[in-house]
Amino acid sequence: MSFSVEGKTAIVTGAACGIGLAIAQHLVGKGANVMFVDMDEAKLEAEIGDAARAEGQIRMFTGDLREKLTVTNLLSATVDAFDRIDILVNASRQIALSDPLNPDEDQVEAMLHQNLLASLRVSQLTAKRMIAMAAKAGREGSIGSIVNISSIAAHRAQPELLGYSIACAAQDQMTRSLAVALAPKGIRVNSIAMGSVLSASLQSVLRDHPDFRERITAATPLGRVAEASELVETVQYLASDASGFMTGQVIALDGGRGLMDPVQIPAH
How many other CB atoms sit within 10 Å of the CB of residue 62?
17
Q: How remote is the C-alpha of 201 from its chain's centroid?
A: 14
Checking if the pLDDT of 81 tops 80, the result is yes
Residue 209 placed within a domain: no
Question: Phi, psi at residue 54, to the nearest 5°?
Answer: -75, -15
The whole-number pLDDT of residue 236 equals 98
* Average pLDDT of the segment spanning 194-206: 83
Residue 32 sits in a domain whose CATH number is 3.40.50.720
Residue 223 placed within a domain: no
The whole-number pLDDT of residue 49 equals 92
* Average pLDDT of the segment spanning 190-216: 85
The whole-number pLDDT of residue 259 equals 84
Checking if the pLDDT of 265 tops 60, the result is no
Residue 245 placed within a domain: yes
Q: Share the mean pLDDT of the chain.
A: 92
**Cβ 27 vs Cβ 236: under 8 Å:** yes
Residue 189 placed within a domain: yes
Q: Going edge to edge, which strands form the sheet with 87-90?
A: 58-62, 33-38, 9-13, 87-90, 144-151, 187-194, 250-253
Residue 1 placed within a domain: no
Residue 213 placed within a domain: no
Residue 164 placed within a domain: yes
The whole-number pLDDT of residue 268 equals 57
Per-residue pLDDT reduced to its tens digit, 231-251: 999 999 999 999 999 999 999
- pLDDT cut 70: percent of the chain above it: 97
- Beta 87-90 vs 58-62: how paired, if at all? unpaired
Q: How many domains are there within the chain?
A: 1
Residue 50 placed within a domain: yes
Instruction: Supply the range of the domain harboring residue 95.
Output: 9-196+228-254
